[in-house]
Structure 1
């Protein structure tokens, strides 16, 4: 779609700012968990569900909203998502009880799913391939900066005001972004009959199977944390995985599938999405566990730990745009390999975190973690969207976001599960947790290192496959 460059840039800023706001809220929640746990008198493991429930809800709905965006209007679904996110933020911010917070986070997540499912599709709609990697890099930069600056931002709000302002902050800022989006994004108002047709023909059987599978998969973490219920936890996990697999199989046979069959038979696209899931899984393990190490075990304030983790956002700002430019001018495959190598080194650094807090061994893994993410995300996003036709860019972008979100959900849910499963009887981490906590933490990060190596093997295979494909064409 042809559009003046100035308007495209403004639209990119609107997309980026809303993506930043949703990511900021999610990552700020990570830092707030110890405080919410204390204020509401709930266990540390229960507090992690405030994060997980949002990610699970988003995961369940991403593909659906991407499909609806392709059929009806990406811009309209995106704008409605902004409004839903604001309502959820308000409810979470004023919530008097744990269950009300959970409800607010679910509504927030519905809005996030509508936003995330269509952002990359809107970019692909307005930016040609020659500039697409750089435009997608800008969106990734906003998302990553929101995700990583959340701890610093949340630390300031928690220290100077209350954890509730992590959510209430979204209301006025979100309304400004909605106003700008309504002025800039071209809107096609679909007829009522068109909406009814899309809704009536939708593959609700597949959606329900997928929803049930995702809920069972991530709910299994609760039982896996219980010392005497591991078998039940594994059975629920297996049941969830089977239902999720059946959902994808059923969808491909449906009359009106959520996922275009062409995407499921596109190996270049599937490889890019799969490795993104792995990378986001690894990154989220540190996001969920570092606040417990720094605050609950190390005894430093939320503000101080937020400042430490803010280093990630500084690194992201320094590298992401440059990585996007490199992805448009250099070999995208080699950049993803470099990013994975740096990420692996950072996970090894986390595994050696000391018993006594010392800045140097704490800081360098945090910095390398985000450097690796920045080098990987921009070229991988460009490879992902460059492998698909524009007609399915909405659902392709939503699947990419689904991989990102499922990776984050697995990293958070099972990172916390693996940690607490090694600490029977411990409900809250404290300095008295001692060597047992450090050993459990190191074990989780060694597993994250192994998963990172799997990701590296996949991107090396993708690079070799690409070179062979080009050679055969020539």
Structure 2
């Protein structure tokens, strides 16, 4: 691999590392943040959800702008926004200022994520793309590994605020090298105004309102007293969001090119990614509550256990990427989802006491399954669209990833708390009530992973049948 391409992977991977580091550390810190600010465990989850929702809302927009203006220009300015948001969150005196900082940080993440895969597509041919994407996945895994370990260490010796302060110097260094490695066309800045003026802002407004209403249903479910109102928000928000895609498809200047939206193989890969990330997010938000709040482990002990998933992904991801460039990518996604589904069964039968062997194996299998699925599925996705649409295709991919994580976190936490009404904070005294609710959440995650497996298995068998027919005809 050329030095320039390695440098590009380094810059893209570094911001992927920071985003993953911040996200995994924040998940682990939720119990401490709740105690520090005197808020409920349910409300504390909005420190994570506010960022994910903001990122999900803006990903498609920034992917489109990357195609129209410059992927590198949007990417690097996203790094600046991420830095500013991290600083505000770290110094925030109240819960609501933290939310503001997280939203700004999430805007930066959206700009970065929406264009990372497009930049990879621009610089790497299809035969090397899965390998390049797997290296970036390694950075994500390294961040996820460092997050629990670093976050746990920070909270053991100091304030959780250092989780966000650490982003500041690292972001400055990456931005410095990024401006040297990534070329930004001179006309990019001049193109911003005209591109923004002609965009489909009606569709973006509908999408934003729909997503906000959809996710605001969460607090109603968590309260356990306004479930009907929760369903009303869920249905209305989902309806407005769905209509925004229809409106955009008929707009004069759509955010998502019809060539992408009507590409059936592309949309199958996107749907599989969405469902898989939704399942994976359940353990990310549930385990800190199980290990720390219920099991009374220290943040450091909890972090070391949670990081096993990311350690596994760090080891398996490059192997998965190399295999994906040499064997059937669709078959690898099937294998990955089989492993993922088994891991969800393992979570569902977690013990009421902290028995490490029974706790560890589902976490490790979860990492294996995700590593085997992600690299080949990402390569499949980006190989199904024209390079001129790489930005929007990458942003739709990142949107599916982020939306899956957001829904997984929001509705798994809602489902947990709706089963234990009136509970403000998880404690060991909840006993079997908590464990029963915990098991039910992962039971649903198992079903969703099973449905995803069936979908990709059908795709694999259909394509295999077509390949055999094509081979017989050519003979």
Which TM-score applies when normalising by structure 2? Answer: 0.97
Q: Quote the residue 1:240 is aligned against.
A: 237
Alignment partner of 1:255: what SS? coil
Task: Kindly report which structure 2 residues correspond to 1:5-44, keeping only aligned pairs within 5 A, or say none.
Answer: 5-44=2-41
Change (3 A) 1:191 1:435: closer
Name the counterpart of 1:305. Answer: 302
Report the Cα distance in structure 1 between the residues aligned to 2:451 and 2:91, rounded to whole angstroms.
Answer: 43
Conserved 8 A contact 1:149-1:309: no
In structure 2, what is the Cα distance between the partners aligned to 1:310 and 1:191? 40
2:437 pairs with one of 432, 436, 440: 440
SS in 2 for 1:257: coil
Write the distance in 1 (CA, Å) between the matches of 2:465 and 2:449.
Answer: 25
Indicate conservation of the 8 Å contact 2:346/2:362, yes or no. yes
- Superposed displacement of residue 174, structure 1: 0.7
Kindly indicate whether residue 285 of structure 2 is the aligned counterpart of residue 288 of structure 1.
yes
**Shift in Å, 1:148:** 4.6
Question: Structure 1 residue 117: deviation in Å?
Answer: 0.1
- Structure 2 portions without partners, runs of 5+: none
Task: Quote the residue 2:418 is aligned against.
Answer: 421
Name the CA distance, whole Å, in 2 between partners of 1:152 and 1:277. Answer: 27
* TM-score for the superposition, normalised by structure 1: 0.98
How far apart in 1 are the matches of 2:225 and 2:98?
29
Write out per-residue CA displacement over residues 129-172 of structure 1, whole angstroms, 9 at most, x where no aligned residue.
11011001111222233235422221111112210010000000
1:257 to 254, 268, 274: 254
Answer whether contact 2:224 2:417 (CA < 8 A) is retained.
no
1:468 CA drift (Å): 3.7
Alignment counterpart, residue 398 of structure 2, candidates 401, 408, 414: 401
CA apart distance, 1:192:
5.3
> 1:228 offset after TM fit, Å?
2.0
Distance 1:227 1:472 in 2: 55
Correspondent of 2:314 among 317, 322, 337: 317
Q: For the Cα contact (< 8 Å) 2:209–2:240, is it kept in 1?
A: yes
The answer to whether residue 47 in structure 2 is matched with residue 67 in structure 1 is no
The whole-number CA distance in structure 2 between the counterparts of 1:243 and 1:468 is: 39
1:169 maps to which residue? 166
| CA–CA distance in structure 2, aligned partners of residues 77 and 172 of structure 1 | 21
Shift of 1:191: 5.6
Q: Deviation at 1:282?
A: 0.5
Give, in whole Å, the separation in 2 of the partners of 1:226 and 1:314: 36
1:217 and 1:332 mapped to 2: Cα distance?
A: 34
Give 3-state SS (helix, strand or coil) of 1:470's partner: helix
Q: How does 1:59-138 map to 2 (within 5 A)?
A: 59-138=56-135
Matches within 5 A, 1:340-419: 340-419=337-416
Q: Which runs of 4+ in 1 moved over 6 A?
A: none
SS of the equivalent of 2:353 reads coil
Distance 1:227 1:136 in 2: 42
User: Secondary structure, in 3 states, of the residue corresponding to 1:225?
Assistant: helix
Structure-2 separation of matches of 1:6 and 1:199: 35
Q: Map of 1:316-335 to 2, 5 A cutoff? A: 316-335=313-332
Shift of 1:465: 2.7
More divergent stretch after superposition (109-118 vs 20-29): 20-29
Gaps of 5+ in 1: none
Give 3-state SS (helix, strand or coil) of 1:258's partner. coil
- Whole-angstrom distance in 2 between the partners of 1:314 and 1:233: 37
Contact (CA 8 Å) 1:294, 1:300: kept in 2 or not?
yes
Q: Distance in 2 between matches of 1:193 and 1:320?
A: 40
Task: Give the CA deviation at 1:309.
Answer: 1.2
Cα displacement (A) at 1:472: 5.2
Tell me which residue corresponds to 2:455.
458
- Structure 1 residue 200 corresponds to structure 2 residue 194: no
State how far apart, in whole Å, the 1-side matches of 2:57 and 2:469 are.
39
1:223 alignment partner in structure 2: 220
Q: How far did 1:9 drift? A: 0.8
Q: CA deviation at 1:394?
A: 0.3
Offset of residue 227 of structure 1: 2.1
CA contact (8 A) 1:116 1:398 kept: yes
Report the Cα distance in structure 2 between the residues aligned to 1:370 and 1:128, rounded to whole angstroms: 27
Distance 1:376 1:412 in 2: 20
Local SS of the residue matching 1:388: coil
Residues 331-381 of structure 1: CA distance to partner in whole angstroms, max 9, x if unpaired? Answer: 111110110010011000101111110100000000000110000001000
